[in-house]
Amino acid sequence: MHALVTGGGGFLGSGITKELIRNGINVTVIGRKKYYHLPPSVKTLQGDIRDYEFVKKSSINIDVVFHVAALAGIWGKKDEFFDINVKGTENIIKGCQANSVPKIVFTSSPSVVFGSSCLEGVNESAPYPYKYLCEYPNTKALAEKMILQANDSSLCTTAIRPHLIWGPGDPHLVPRLIKRANSKRLLIVGDGRNRVDMTYIDNAVSAHIKLALAPNENVAGKVYFVSDDEPVFLWTWINSLLSRLGIPEVTRKISYDNAMRLGNLLEKVYNFLEIKSEPPMTRFLATQLATSHYFNISNAKKDFGYLPLVSQKEGVNRLIRFLKPSLQEN
């Protein structure tokens, strides 16, 4: 088997790549730079998924594509999100069709069904919202729809929605929490009792590979939520982590309504002044920090045998061991 991984140099993509190599599968990674942290047996092709000819050439003699590459974030230009997340995905689909690639596993996001209200134990039947609060979930939803619609007898397409991928080596979620907490810029939004799903990196990697190896008749044209299957109280989890790292816990609060008003104001100001950096609060961030969003993963268990490999407790212990040396150096 020969797998192609887009975004194979990133946190999730490199995890998938390394696990495929450990399982004796040939891997080609495409990205915009060289990735020296990947195993030497990995073939790296430098290019952009917005370039169809590059994608088409990269897809020759490939058995499965893990389409992980995306522009993530809660702030940025609409056109850039669309070009990478939607047009890039369209190029992946067309490249696979042109080269008779039999399977695509698309990394989607639970945010595609997130409007502004709580999602508590919902499954994949949850509808797309009428309106999104930022471009990332909007463009990921458009891409997910394209992926699922491309499924046919010659190309099996399937999508996976891991929520809040975390663990050792995470360059975004936990480092940002620590940075904000250290600078006293982290506030509890709402009543602090919201529950969320998370997905430890090893669990996210395992889910992708299990989905890729599943019989087509089980998964073709379907989308799946995956997680650690242990929803946590978000602010309790954050404060417990901070405490174990020797960082003061977060105690200051802002109401959800005030956070939404502040986010709405800052979005308007940043847009008017054309400020490129991310506002300290947005409406999407406020809803993510204040509402519950956890999911029913029964379909992933049933259709391709997904079960979390690492528990929340063990994952946190591993993360603490990983982070403490670097924090002590600082």
pLDDT at position 324: 81
Angstrom distance (rounded) from CA 119 to CA 197: 10
The token pair at 98 is 């042109």
Check whether 327 has a pLDDT greater than 80.
no
Check whether 129 has a pLDDT greater than 70.
yes
What share of the chain has pLDDT > 90, as a percent? 90
pLDDT at position 41: 93
pLDDT at position 264: 96
| 254 lies in some domain | no
Angle of the 173-182 helix axis to the 234-244 helix axis, nearest 10: 70
| 236 lies in some domain | no
pLDDT at position 328: 62
pLDDT at position 33: 85
Angstrom distance (rounded) from CA 140 to CA 26: 28
What CATH number is associated with residue 132? 3.40.50.720
pLDDT at position 287: 94
| 274 lies in some domain | no
Question: Across residues 153-160, what is the average pLDDT?
Answer: 97
Q: Which of 132, 136, 200, 256 does the annotation list as catalytic?
A: 136
pLDDT at position 116: 79
The b/e string for 1-18 (b: 16+ C-beta within 10 A; e otherwise) is eebbbbbbbbbbbbbbbb
pLDDT at position 63: 97
Check if the beta carbon of residue 102 is closer than 8 Å to that of residue 156: yes
pLDDT at position 32: 87
| 213 lies in some domain | yes
| 146 lies in some domain | yes
The token pair at 110 is 């639970």
Angstrom distance (rounded) from CA 25 to CA 8: 14
Check whether 330 has a pLDDT greater than 90.
no
Angstrom distance (rounded) from CA 151 to CA 233: 37
186-211 pLDDT, tens digit each: 999 999 999 999 999 999 999 999 99
The answer to whether residue 136 is catalytic is yes
Enclosing domain of residue 98: 2-165+198-229+294-309
Note the helical H segments in the chain.
11-22, 52-58, 78-81, 88-98, 135-149, 173-182, 201-213, 216-219, 234-244, 256-272, 283-290, 298-304, 312-329
Question: Across residues 13-24, what is the average pLDDT?
Answer: 96
State how far the alpha carbon of 315 is from the alpha carbons of 200, 288, 309, in Å.
7, 22, 10
Confidence of residue 148 (pLDDT cuts 50, 70, 90): very high
Question: Which of 30-34, 46-50, 275-279 is predicted most confidently?
Answer: 46-50
| 257 lies in some domain | no
pLDDT at position 19: 96
Angstrom distance (rounded) from CA 76 to CA 284: 13
214-236 pLDDT, tens digit each: 999 999 999 999 999 999 999 99
If you average pLDDT over every residue of the chain, what do you get? 95
Nearest one of 107, 104, 113, 39 to 69, comparing CA atoms: 107
Contacts of 176 (CB under 8 A, 6+ apart): none
User: What distance lies between CA 179 and its chain's CA centroid?
Assistant: 20
Contacts of 180 (CB under 8 A, 6+ apart): 186
Angstrom distance (rounded) from CA 160 to CA 2: 20
80-122 pLDDT, tens digit each: 999 999 999 999 999 999 999 999 999 999 999 998 789 999 9
List the beta bridge partners of residue 4. Answer: 28, 65
pLDDT at position 325: 77
| 66 lies in some domain | yes
More confident position, 130 or 116: 130
Check if the beta carbon of residue 190 is closer than 8 Å to that of residue 289: yes
User: What distance lies between CA 150 and its chain's CA centroid?
Assistant: 21
| 251 lies in some domain | no
When divided into structural domains, the chain yields a total of 1
pLDDT at position 155: 97
pLDDT at position 329: 60
pLDDT at position 165: 96
238-276 pLDDT, tens digit each: 999 999 999 999 999 999 999 999 999 999 999 999 898
Check if the beta carbon of residue 136 is closer than 8 Å to that of residue 81: yes
Question: Across residues 285-295, what is the average pLDDT?
Answer: 95
